[in-house]
Structure 1
Amino acid sequence: MSNHDINELFSQAADAGAIPVDSLAALTDLSSEIQNNLGVSAEDIPASEVFLLTMEIDDSSSIRMSGNSQHVRDGHNFMIEVLAESNKGDDMLVHTTYLNGGTLFPFVLLKNATRLDARNFNPSGCTPLYDRTVATLGTVLAKEQEFANQGVPVRTITLVVTDGEEYGSRKYDSDDVKKLVEQMLASENHIVAFMGIDDGKTDFRAVALAMGIPDQWILTPKNDGSSIREAFGIASRAAKSASQGAGSFSSTAIGGFDAGIS
């Protein structure tokens, strides 16, 4: 798919009300990056409906320095394993991207998702939270529109995981993220969630709220392995619940992470 085709997807999504018109320029600037993350073609997925899971994982140096690299690896992998237990697994696509290190894998069938390990996840760098999240959400929206063009309904959940405040974004700010999030939520086809691992100073709930993420979709685990594992467990169960069809998605979207506590 060419950049021209990507931009056509964005224009179609804007016409359908899925993307704010004043966000088009930002997404167009990211067209090459987003194109590379679209992965498997919608035309190759013989499904009557599709569920997209996207994980944006903080790979900044603070993750490593806090001793949490393996906890984050385990949490990411657990998300995939829990969804794999679902009877909807053949209708799910997964995409994982890093804050600094590019893309772990573009959208692929759940069964083809790559697990995090010490070779592909060695955190270093800063925390360009807003720049990366605009690109991540743009990818989700482009993929949704690609399926919409095939007449296939799409529901999505995007999980942003970080342990540090914004540091390093050069193009976008929290308002740019918020515009996209609010438009996505208004369609009632998307969930955008946030996990802020305590760094001892950042009010992650305030950070997420400023990005437009609803309070019920914010987790703020302590900076230890047990709390991080528990948070990923909650997120995994909520994602699985959201994946089980339109009715389950709607109730999960309203209930938030509480849907993953029981």
Structure 2
Amino acid sequence: MSSSSSNGNSSSANVSQLFQAAHAEGVLSPQALQALTVVDLGAQIQAGLGISVDDVQASEVVLVTVMPDDSGSIQHAGHARTVCDGHNLVLDALLSSQQKDGILFHTRYLNGFVLNPFRPLEDVVRMHSKNYDPDKGTPLYDQAVVLLGTVLAKAQEFTRNGVSARTVTLLITDGADCHSQSSRPRDVAALVNDLRRAENHIVAGMGIDDGTTDFRKVFREMGIEDKWILTPGQSAQDIRKAFQVFSQSAVRVSQGAASFSRTALGGFGA
């Protein structure tokens, strides 16, 4: 990790420069830029950036990001072990990919804890009961902005250094937002729309059934397309199957630009 991660001011400046450059290049719309800068998110985003671009020996990279829900309702519903298994299943699927050396992985829990800043697959920390204790709230919109800002900043770092970057991101929740302080669905949607317009990003959502929330509506309002929304039931089998579907898409994304385009077009049904 770069030394700037220990310095709040310089990390904020670095991240801000990446966003200003993305805006100048037409990658970031004014709305998305405002969503990322209305609150100073520099230190939070810097915490996820991880490995230096200079330490990656590849002409193209795939950035895979997973945001597991660590709200108390996950524990209450008995899903903690299943979410850990699902995260690790995605990791195992990517480790079996022929392109695994060009994949970087990032895990940030829904309440902001960074388990894995972007790092090579062989260095990824698996989820287990010692590092995952879902007992918090659901700041879905706030943290989605931080997460997508991190993805965008990392991709921007690579492209500015002549390395092609494709990304696939999964947001996971088992309930509607109830703790966001600064962001709304439209802020997330501005970012998702910009990422989608750039044609090298996929943003997906998984809503684990809580009996009341219309997750398709929640994710649609956040700009996520229907074809990238998973709505598993409450059984461990359903949830694991949803993670498996995502992992298959992530592996396809890693197989080159043409495979990415087909996957992006077809969604989870590709």
TM range, normalised to the smaller chain? over 0.9
Q: Equivalents in 1 of 2:32, 2:176: separation in Å?
A: 23
| C-alpha contact 1:126 1:167 (8 A) present in aligned 2 | yes
Residue equivalent to 1:242: 253
SS of the residue corresponding to residue 36 of structure 2 reads helix
| C-alpha contact 1:99 1:128 (8 A) present in aligned 2 | yes
| C-alpha contact 1:51 1:156 (8 A) present in aligned 2 | yes
Equivalent residue runs for 1:104-183 within 5 Å: 104-183=115-194
Q: Equivalents in 1 of 2:95, 2:83: separation in Å?
A: 19
Q: Equivalents in 2 of 1:23, 1:136: separation in Å?
A: 13
Single out whichever of 58-67 and 16-25 deviates more from structure 2. Answer: 16-25
| Aligned residue among 216, 220, 223 for 1:205 | 216
| Aligned residue among 19, 22, 27 for 1:18 | 27
Q: TM-score with structure 2 length normalisation?
A: 0.94
Equivalent residue runs for 1:215-234 within 5 Å: 215-234=226-245
Single out whichever of 1-10 and 164-173 deviates more from structure 2. Answer: 1-10
Note the C-alpha offset of 1:26.
Answer: 3.5
Q: Does 1:27 align with 2:36?
A: yes
Q: Equivalents in 2 of 1:152, 1:36: separation in Å?
A: 21
Note the C-alpha offset of 1:152.
Answer: 0.5
SS of the residue corresponding to residue 158 of structure 1 reads strand
User: Gapped runs of 5+ residues in structure 1?
Assistant: none
Deviations 1:62-93 (A, max 9, x none): 00000010000000000000000011111110
Q: In the alignment, residue 125 of structure 1 is paired with which amino acid?
A: K
Q: Equivalents in 2 of 1:217, 1:101: separation in Å?
A: 23
Q: Count residues with an aligned counterpart.
A: 259
Deviations 1:183-229 (A, max 9, x none): 10011000000000000000000101010001100000001101001
SS of the residue corresponding to residue 53 of structure 1 reads strand
Single out whichever of 46-55 and 15-24 deviates more from structure 2. Answer: 15-24
Q: Equivalents in 1 of 2:55, 2:253: separation in Å?
A: 23
SS of the residue corresponding to residue 192 of structure 1 reads strand
Equivalent residue runs for 1:72-83 within 5 Å: 72-83=83-94
Note the C-alpha offset of 1:160.
Answer: 0.4
Runs (4 or more) in structure 1 with deviation over 3 Å come to none
Deviations 1:40-62 (A, max 9, x none): 01111010100000001100000
| C-alpha contact 1:199 1:223 (8 A) present in aligned 2 | yes
Note the C-alpha offset of 1:101.
Answer: 4.9
SS of the residue corresponding to residue 75 of structure 2 reads helix
Q: In the alignment, residue 21 of structure 1 is paired with which amino acid?
A: P
Q: Equivalents in 1 of 2:141, 2:135: separation in Å?
A: 17
User: Gapped runs of 5+ residues in structure 2?
Assistant: 5-9
Note the C-alpha offset of 1:125.
Answer: 1.2
Q: Pairwise CA RMSD of aligned residues?
A: 1.0
Note the C-alpha offset of 1:22.
Answer: 3.0
Residue equivalent to 2:15: 6
Q: In the alignment, residue 43 of structure 1 is paired with which amino acid?
A: D
- What percent identity do the matched residue pairs reach? 49
Residue equivalent to 2:264: 253
